[in-house]
Structure 1
Amino acid sequence: MNILNGLKMNSVRGRWLRSYAAVLLIPIAMMLVAYFQTRSVLEDEINRANSALLTQLQQDIDSHIDYAYRLSEMIAFNSKVRQFMRSTGTIGPEERIAMVQALSDFRLYTNTTRYVDRFYVYFRSGDFVLTEGSYYDARMYYDLQQSASGLTYEEWKQFLAQPYRGQFFSMQPIEGQPRTGILFAQSLPIEARNAPLATLVIELNEERLLSAIRNIQSYNQGKVYILDGTNQLLASSEKRTGAARSFESLNGETGFVHSQWDGEDVMLSYIQSNRTNWKYVYALPMRLYSQKAEYVRNLTILTVLLALAIGIVLAVLMARRQYDPLGKLVRSVAARSKLDPGTVGNEYDYLEEAIDSTLDHNNQMNRIIEKQKNVLRSNLFVRLLKGRVENDFPVIEVMSEYGIVLRSDYFAVLLIYLEDFSGFFRQEETDVEKKREFVRHIISNIVEELIGRQHQGWMTEIDEMLACTINFTSNLSTEEAKQELLQLTEEAQRFIGSRFHIYFTASVSTIRRSVAELPTAYQEAMEAMEYKMLLGAQKIIFYDQIQSFNHSYSYPLEKEQQLINHVKAGDYEQAKGILDEVIKHNLSEESLPMDMVRCLLFDVISTMMKAAIEVNLNQSELYEENRTTIQDLMNGVSVSAMQERMTLFLGKVCSHVDSKKKSHNFRLKEDILEFINEQYRDHNLSINTISARFDIHPSYLSRYFKEQVGDTLTDYINKLRVDKAKELLRNDEIFIKDICDLVGFYSISTFIRLFKKYEGVTPSSYRTSNDLK
């Protein structure tokens, strides 16, 4: 648990809890959306219900209105009524009989309807009123029926004098406040276009009219209003409070309008009758909406809280249950890993870091193993090429372990000797061993890839050269195999030289028929490589090419004596002519094997040494010059280069026989040698540091030191260090690595390479040989 506590707060468990919370919020958000949608739907349903009630009310009242219209038509076309309209105003017996018949008809009309309280017809010509039950003159009817309405007699007569074409009015603005109701007024005759002869007034039964309105009000606690075509109030279920109601915003045949009455928000639902253009308005307080919406809200909140509580409990339990395996895994990994859990963000990050660290470690181990495998494979090929493998050694099985599968029994060996790679590196790069290793890597990859197109080849480093063991894919003839090898090697030389400025000489063995013959093929390639002295650098030398060379050379005694005499006489041109003649005669006209070439060059060098001794040339310088020449000869310097070197040496002998002892720079040489003997342990000792010490240009110093000592400055320093190392190697208690540092070498590999170059053996072998002695 302490390991898990080391993790930061942004743990997986916390992320899971937040994820579950996010998932839990989705249904909660959906419930909230559903709540608001439900509220909207509830409001719409209430409005639709109100509209349905208003539609029912409109249909009910329209039936009232239809009866009023029918009643007006029956009275208007009653023959007795029309007779009264045509009378001159005098009521005689005939008119009274007609009046009785008309009253009988009126009573019949009122007995068949429940929607009319009463009606009367005012006849202008006789100035009397005829109701459903009696006859009155105008003044009497006013006193009996209309005086209590609040209207004066003149105002009432003025109302009756107006022309009407089936219009409805509210009693309140017409007859005053004490009475309420709806009046229907129709001028008679209906078809008259001029001043009316009579006026029919029908008072609708307000109680029955309002009963339907009260039914709606009791259903939903709202108030109902009836408006005429100009939005003027005709009737309502509201008790009069004196507050004016505004219906100006009710436009169109149907709709819903928000308004505010008496400081309270109300929703006005309205519908217009196509029959009368009346509007039926239902006003419902918004608090009634809120009460129903509040119930839904409370139910929603309760459901949300319950879901939230259950979700939190389930999220915690599920997070804990799912986290247990992860926690065990983290503890198990932390117990085996050096990675601190406190340095990462969460468990997944920690596991990722631990896995990456393990994979990196494994990759590193695999790289080391692969590198070791390459070294072992290279060592195997070195042993095969040098014939150091026992007869019963399972070569094929061991090769298969390194991923090598032979395709045929035909083999050849290609040797590569590096000539120059200075153009590939910058001047400030001074580590020769690193540069050489990099160049070998480039050549190995390119050559293996080129050979791998049709055959297969494996590169290995051997005797400071690169050897490629080639296994052909099919049984080729000797000429075909030789031609393919020539094309591959030429392509490698051309590509590597042009792309990387790396130049090399190659030698090729003959085709061999088994792995056991690889040592023979390697020796053939080695022998062919020796002829680069004769044929020149950057060539491709086949072993078959050197088989036709002769085995002797011509260097008569008289030629040797002539050379000595010309040198003693200081005749450089004559001496050089003899030297060129001997070399040209032996190397141009006939082909010599390399051992004979070396013998010839040794003889010529010996002749020059004799001449130098006879002219009293400095013995130490003569020895160094001779040693350097012989080392170059042994290291495979080309014949042309050797000829040039001997020519230079010959010129030196002829032109500077006595100058060495008389040189005014003799003391400078001694000072330089003394300084080198004192500072050879310094790793940074070089031409630049020495030239800076003696204030001499490096180029002049290099040329001067070569002239005075016979060795290049670098060779002299390396030889001195090797000589000092030989003295230290006699002491077994000093490690070779420490000796390398004590004598001034900056790299153990450089120390071993140079020691072997000058002494012929490695430092460890030298120490062993001295111990045996």
Structure 2
Amino acid sequence: MKSRKKTGQNILHYVIASSVVIVFIIAILGGYLFRFYYKKMHEDFYKENSVYIGNIAKMHGNELQILQDISMQIALSDSARFLLDEQPTKSAALKKQLNQYRSVNQFFDVMYCYYQKDQYLFNHMTSISIDLFCDTAYQLENYSPSEVKDLLCAKQKKLLVLPEETIEGELVYFYDVQAKNVIYIYPVAPKYDTILIFFIGADHYDDLFADEQENTRSTWLVYDGNIVTRRGANEIEDDLLISELGGETGQKQVKIQGKNYLLTQEIDEAGFSYVALQPMNVFTDQLRTHLWGIGVLIILCCVPTFLLIGILSSRVLGGVKNINRMLSSEGEETYDLGKIEVGIRQLVNSSEDMKQDQMSLRKSRFIRSFLQSKYTALEILRRDAADARINISYGFQMVGVIGSSASGNEEKIFEQILEFIQNQENLDGYGIHLVNTNQRVMVLFGESEENLYQAYDKILRIGRVHCDEFVVAVSWAHRSLLNGSLAYLEANTAYDSRFLVDSSQIIRFTEIGQNSSVSNYQNLRSRYMVQLENTIRVGNEQEVEKAIHDLCKKLEEEHATLLTFRLLYDEVLRFLMDQWNGDEKDWNQVYNVFTLSRCLTMEDFTSLLTEACHMILDTKTDVKNHQSELVVKAMEIMQKTYSDPDLNMASLADQLGISPVTLAVEFKNETGISPSDYLAVVRLERAKELLRTTDQLVKQVSEAVGYEDDHVFIRRFKKYTGKTPGQYRKESQQ
């Protein structure tokens, strides 16, 4: 009883000491949380302002780039440097060019082009004399007509920006120019005798400076020491702000009119300064709110912690009694540390066995995935190899296929092989068992080709000790870690030739006469893979089957080796995997490098490839139902009007009511191919059909599919199919 009482007191003392430590930890945690929240919120406050200004600078910089691009195009075309009275016909071309800029622009409301040696300004519709432009067409709030004329006639090499002001005049409402505008006067290099005048409405800057914190933050656009425009709530005079600005991008705290602010400034290459000013009390208010939360959190942690300590203490005392009873055969409450140690050792040994089994499973999974080339990124491959504790950094990798007649001794042989690999300093690897072929597949990683051949030679000798029929066939020594399936196909091809060569030595893929297969495969891939890929993207089942037929026919004509069409099938299936949108389990039934190794005839190859392509076309039909209405409509227009030679991305975007950039981005994101490439595929697939089914001349076929120049058509057709239209027609009719 005394022993039990003393033990209970010791535990109670431990509980009290633990409680004090926990309270101390909670206090430290509270201080840490305060510092953490303060630092984090301070960083977030600065970062949010920096990101806000950075986004504005980026968007405005892109818009300025548009103006610069227009200026460069005007300079290159030299379409503006003429006198209207002497060359009136050039005005139509200039107005057409200006109209193109205006139609695709979302930045400026209207633009004018002025050749300073003439007396007329041009926009997208008409021309106007400079006197009429300054006196009645546009009347600026802060500039007189004579001042405006002087600005327009002055020869300058630098962008001139007139700050936001009210504009009135006869053409303001005619061209739907907003009441308030910022005017950009852009000189055209290199002669600087032509200027471009852009009117940017106030609504554009409302959108550009749109801010969820507009009630507490003000934003300025500054150029050449002058305020171009501003938005926000603070009533701070412009001169006070200008005096605080520096010459570099950055953030700092400033004090203006007795109040602390965070000033964020970013300067772009064009000399524009983007400035945001937000009171520091916004940060302190946010911090105060979170401090209340920290205090409540500490209280909520302390109260249940003591309750939990009390509950756990009672359970610990009860657990100690129960352990004593279990350890004592007579149920006595004694402490037998020997029994506890034995029990713990048993648990540790059981855990070690489990870890070894788990590690073997990880190694097997990694090797299987490696051989099936499921890794598309080296980072993921290296991560999984590290998890499986396989060193793949030696520089070379070689796959070996092992077959034996050692019934009952396979595991013993495999254990000795693994022990041999583990004892090597510059070698690592693992193997898996293929039940359906009764083969072992080993993957070794070594520092040289000779090192790997020596290792497999040792493996052969280990196997020969236990059985007479032990065959080892190996692939090339590959440097790329993403060629697992290729290396397996090479090793398996070498293994298939075991009855034709001396199998008492290592069967090397390099020695079985397959060296020409790779180059033969590259030639077939470059000529026929593009055709098959494009027909699958378009989704034409008939053309897909025709492309498969052409590919198989060429394989027969070339007397392709077993390895060649295995490699080609593996390449085709990699492309199809990118197009696949169905269940991964269904796909694995078709694409499996171990199933591919049993592909022995052209009929096997054709059957597997056709099945995979049909699965892709079925899933593409399902995916098409989920594509955006914009992409579907664009496809329908191209499929219906492909014969129109004027159909291009600009006209297609006009029909859809969007910009060409928006069309290109959304179409590429949805389909994986650009709209212009899609249109080219539609036209060329239709041309193939006309060449096969009609007697039309090549020029007629060219015009029928939207190509006005038959030379361009012939060049693109040959690039697409590898044949001229005449050659294609002749071969299809044979």
Interval containing the TM-score (normalised by the shorter chain): 0.3 to 0.5
Q: Which of the two has higher C-alpha Rg? A: 1
State TM-score, norm by structure 1.
0.33
Relative to the length of structure 2, the TM-score reads: 0.35
Bigger RCO (CA 8 Å, 6+ sep): 1
